[in-house]
Structure 1
């Protein structure tokens, strides 16, 4: 999957800047432990860290299109799943290939088709191309924003990298957060393009950002469009099934071992079953490995609530037996997810205090266990946003809420109340900030002419989830998995599926009155009925009550003189929150008051770790 970094300066000679680029690149050794490389020229320097997945020997980077560096050079992360078809097309056009990698295919696609080449790519990717012929830099990101890419404009050029930490390793990039950045951290909005650090930006999904001596130019090469859906239900179900089969088969291609993340829910079970079936068709006899996470004693102490109806593990076991997968359960306890080294690793992975409770830490430990046995895993991420899996798609109050629908459970679970208790909600004017960002998002929604009522509203909700909430979760999954050098692929983000399902009427997605009806029907006969019929559960979260007590103790420990968190909240307000009875903070997820405690702890550690200057 890899990591990239670089620097373009039109006002100075960068031929001696290898040390700067090396420092930036070395911040991402976890993203690319297998190899590193640098390329320098008068006005551009590119760096790369490599996780070898396809063509381990031939795919070294940065990769130049010519031996004399007179043609474009690329530093690339991700996977292009249709690279074989593109390679055949480019070969027929006269291109000669020196490697078997998808990196070279992307580079030669640019040579053949110019900036329009991105429209031809199917995959998850982020890359930079320096063209010495025009002295232009292109920064390109995949359609759904699975792979991250950040940049920091300077007076005479730009600094860029896969992660903020790479950009901040450059002396000209400062770790500063102002009120706008703080609002982004605590509002649970995830505004596209917003990087939180002042002066830094995130390359938008489906975008080419071009830098030249004339300045910055932005090209959008794909976007969701509203189209009339003419297929009947039976045809729609069959189309969803055939798309998923093709997508999973493409995403199994690698020169290393590929497994799956299996929770026992519909999405991950579908991916695991389709992957197992694809391998069987290709004559692979070794069972696919499927990994689950659980907590010690979780099944015995489990209590159902509005988010979690039943424990996951029994369903994961049933799916694994049904499809013939080798099932590995990673079992954790409180000591594991409270381990200071684990928490520090997660903060360093995400570069921001964006905790959704204990979920990040258990996800990190799960990915670390996977990495011991494989390099690539397929995940069911992004199906809920597309097919309508979350509670807020089916709760009348959430649907009618004049705001982001996930703020409804945030309010009900006590998260907003906790932010108010410590003064942050009002001090940061989050009501107005959320309202502003929500209005901007609604303006973007592609709509059918004449569409109105419930169908129009559900189209809005789908768009909000696909472009905001999903972006937040995809970023979390990428950062945490890559922190242990694990590549996670997400079949439900394939743009062909996204385009088709986005334009499928809500009445079809919800034809039997249940969440994800369309996906359930597409998997009928493939998965056990018990999995098809169970209520959607979020990613698992510990229900061990002693975990909340440990969080309270951590908050007490950080309330010392000069604590960074006291720059944004008062000790009196935090202690008022801690005066709540034990057990009243709610369980798990980004919505509960417990998650607010996590975020205060992380904010404090983040300011220390990154030497952040808070302008507030």
Structure 2
């Protein structure tokens, strides 16, 4: 069951608001609707609005009446302050307003697109919805957009949503995060405003690490308190510094209610020790109701015991479905309204080290060598490997990055070692050529090579943080919202405004977070240098489910799109299941399998 909304604006300039399901579940507050019948002003919202006390200070006239929902608040703000008020909204949301004054629709997503919005116009009828496939079923021109699928296969980083206007269906567009747009029935649009991270990330000078850490804690705590105002709260606890930081701050929030923790525990060798770190947090005491789940039973690629949820576009992280689903299902059983996770910490609490490339670009070779030497010692890697990966390679055009053999193969990589921007060898040549896969790779490289390169990679991290698949397709249908406090807009802008030296110290993971969590986190977690990865979970899952995955590829009707050489894909799947190929190369397999799974799920529904 999907939840969301669709708003229809016809040629007569009458707006029709449809919420689905039509009968909302008791206590479900993810979707709220408000209207002013005297002016025909209407608002629908999916998600949450935070920092409402600040809004009250800025827009007092909007608070001179009883407000029973976030949609009521938005209606009052817009009625009194119009666009100026909407630009000040903070939260995790997507909203649509019918403006009777201009007889148009207004749509807005928060700056990290925590909920989606799509739209199309046909025959003087405009439709805006949180559900892409619902629109596709109503559009006469909604064939699968193969150019989008090519972009999906060539974007080499983890993400939920490609931040481009085109979608998986021709004729239907995406509203980009942080964009306020006017819509008219004939399809004309007018951009009123859009969020620009660079306008808000302004360098903070002359600040020491203790002061920066104290301010971080204050903003972080404030963001968690804001997110705790909506029902019963749970937080994922894995034993790592990120999730443990969220739990410790949320546990100590001013509330009489216990914090529920949700933890996956493992018996596999690489992760069995993580339970000890989970216990360290729980042993600190406080108002916590802890719950454990068997992580070994929720392996990767475990798609076949029950149907994959309907989802609008292919998702490269689909192989994690079972792990995400068991956590959400338990939260639902416990009556949870909001789940916190530790996602996003890497982006804001530690640097990306690509200032090495900026040093070289400026000709500061001596400083670049000195910095690379410090990192090589801290990482126990060769000086050349650090200097090339972080300093030289980001400055190279695609043809030099990929090497002569790849260039001679027209951008095709060679299994088992695929470059980030190589075309996978199981993609058919006609598809790669017709949809410009090599050109798409070159465009990404050019984007990342823009000076300053450190900033370009920070912006990439922000784009890759848009959306939350588990929130959209697993949690929301159960009336649950998933929130990532590290991705609070205030915290992001503060951290990325700090001097690099406070977030980037050779040999010290996440130095800013370590400083901020002094006296809050258990010391073994706060000063922990390494957290075990989930590679064993991935390979065990691939190996255990290989026969099912092969059958899925064999039986899929995706042949009609002419994308994959199925025999070659199955061949590399078999090799990867026994450990051939690195994690980066394996991610290209995972994306291809996710595309097939999405196509089959979507075509079966239609």
- Interval of TM-score (by shorter of Structure 1 and Structure 2): 0.7 to 0.9
Residue 249 of structure 1 is matched in structure 2 by 225
Residue 9 of structure 1 is matched in structure 2 by 10
Correspondence 1:65 to 2:65: no
Residues of 2 paired with 1:429 and 1:361: CA distance? 34
Residue 508 of structure 1 is matched in structure 2 by 502
Alpha carbons 1:261, 1:380 under 8 Å: kept:
yes
Correspondence 1:459 to 2:455: yes
Alpha carbons 2:247, 2:261 under 8 Å: kept:
yes
Correspondence 1:482 to 2:482: no
Residue 210 of structure 1 is matched in structure 2 by 182
Alpha carbons 1:320, 1:326 under 8 Å: kept:
no
Correspondence 1:573 to 2:568: yes
Post-superposition shift, 1:260? 0.9
Correspondence 1:543 to 2:518: no
Correspondence 1:81 to 2:72: no
Task: Give the 3-state SS of the residue equivalent to 1:197 in structure 2.
Answer: coil
Task: Give the 3-state SS of the residue equivalent to 2:253 in structure 1.
Answer: helix
Residues of 1 paired with 2:389 and 2:348: CA distance? 17
Residues of 1 paired with 2:350 and 2:428: CA distance? 31
Residues of 1 paired with 2:273 and 2:77: CA distance? 47
Residue 85 of structure 2 is matched in structure 1 by 117
1:269 to 229, 235, 244: 244
Q: Deviations over 1:110-144 (max 9, x none)?
A: 11111121222121111000112221100111122
Alpha carbons 2:105, 2:183 under 8 Å: kept:
yes
Q: Deviations over 1:204-231 (max 9, x none)?
A: 2211011136820113343212423124
* Pair 1:565–1:132, CA change in 2 (3 A): same
Residues of 2 paired with 1:411 and 1:270: CA distance? 41
Residue 363 of structure 2 is matched in structure 1 by none
1:301-450 superposed matches below 5 A: 301-302=269-270, 311-324=273-286, 325-334=288-297, 340=303, 344-346=307-309, 348=310, 350-356=311-317, 358-373=319-334, 374-388=336-350, 396-400=387-391, 401-402=393-394, 414=417, 420-423=424-427, 429-440=436-447
Residue 43 of structure 1 is matched in structure 2 by none
Alpha carbons 1:185, 1:354 under 8 Å: kept:
no
Residue 261 of structure 2 is matched in structure 1 by 290
Residue 105 of structure 1 is matched in structure 2 by 73
Residues of 2 paired with 1:239 and 1:490: CA distance? 19
Alpha carbons 2:260, 2:291 under 8 Å: kept:
yes
Residue 34 of structure 1 is matched in structure 2 by 25
Post-superposition shift, 1:340? 4.5
Q: Deviations over 1:302-338 (max 9, x none)?
A: 28xxxxxx85332122112225322212214457766
Residues of 1 paired with 2:302 and 2:424: CA distance? 29
Residue 52 of structure 1 is matched in structure 2 by 29
Residue 532 of structure 1 is matched in structure 2 by 526
* Pair 1:323–1:148, CA change in 2 (3 A): farther
2:204 to 222, 226, 229: 229
Task: Give the 3-state SS of the residue equivalent to 1:120 in structure 2.
Answer: coil
Post-superposition shift, 1:514? 2.2
Residues of 2 paired with 1:549 and 1:125: CA distance? 39
* Pair 1:136–1:329, CA change in 2 (3 A): same
Residues of 2 paired with 1:569 and 1:201: CA distance? 26
Post-superposition shift, 1:486? 1.7
Task: Give the 3-state SS of the residue equivalent to 2:222 in structure 1.
Answer: helix
Task: Give the 3-state SS of the residue equivalent to 2:493 in structure 1.
Answer: helix
Q: Deviations over 1:280-322 (max 9, x none)?
A: xx4x2x5311112234x22xx328xxxxxx8533212211222
Residue 598 of structure 2 is matched in structure 1 by 606
Residues of 1 paired with 2:64 and 2:226: CA distance? 24
Post-superposition shift, 1:529? 1.4
Post-superposition shift, 1:8? 1.8
Larger deviation, residues 112-121 vs 102-111? 112-121
Which consecutive unaligned segments of at least 5 residues does structure 1 have? 36-49, 54-59, 304-309, 446-455
Task: Give the 3-state SS of the residue equivalent to 1:362 in structure 2.
Answer: helix
Residues of 2 paired with 1:327 and 1:182: CA distance? 43
Size of the aligned set, in residue pairs, is 545
Residue 151 of structure 1 is matched in structure 2 by 119
Task: Give the 3-state SS of the residue equivalent to 1:176 in structure 2.
Answer: coil
Alpha carbons 2:265, 2:292 under 8 Å: kept:
yes
Post-superposition shift, 1:353? 2.6
TM-score by length of 2: 0.79
Correspondence 1:128 to 2:96: yes
TM-score by length of 1: 0.78
Alpha carbons 1:126, 1:148 under 8 Å: kept:
yes
Alpha carbons 2:237, 2:263 under 8 Å: kept:
yes
Alpha carbons 1:71, 1:133 under 8 Å: kept:
no
1:469 to 453, 464, 469: 464
Q: Deviations over 1:379-426 (max 9, x none)?
A: 22212112237799976544334389xx99x99995659962313695
Correspondence 1:193 to 2:164: yes
Residues of 2 paired with 1:336 and 1:147: CA distance? 27
Residues of 2 paired with 1:14 and 1:2: CA distance? 23
* Pair 1:342–1:187, CA change in 2 (3 A): farther
Post-superposition shift, 1:241? 1.3
Residues of 2 paired with 1:413 and 1:320: CA distance? 43
Alpha carbons 2:33, 2:45 under 8 Å: kept:
yes
Task: Give the 3-state SS of the residue equivalent to 2:439 in structure 1.
Answer: helix
Residues of 1 paired with 2:340 and 2:541: CA distance? 30
Larger deviation, residues 387-396 vs 353-362? 387-396
Which consecutive unaligned segments of at least 5 residues does structure 2 have? 356-374, 376-385, 403-412
Correspondence 1:499 to 2:493: yes
Alpha carbons 2:181, 2:190 under 8 Å: kept:
yes
Alpha carbons 1:564, 1:604 under 8 Å: kept:
yes
* Pair 1:250–1:556, CA change in 2 (3 A): closer
Alpha carbons 1:78, 1:126 under 8 Å: kept:
yes
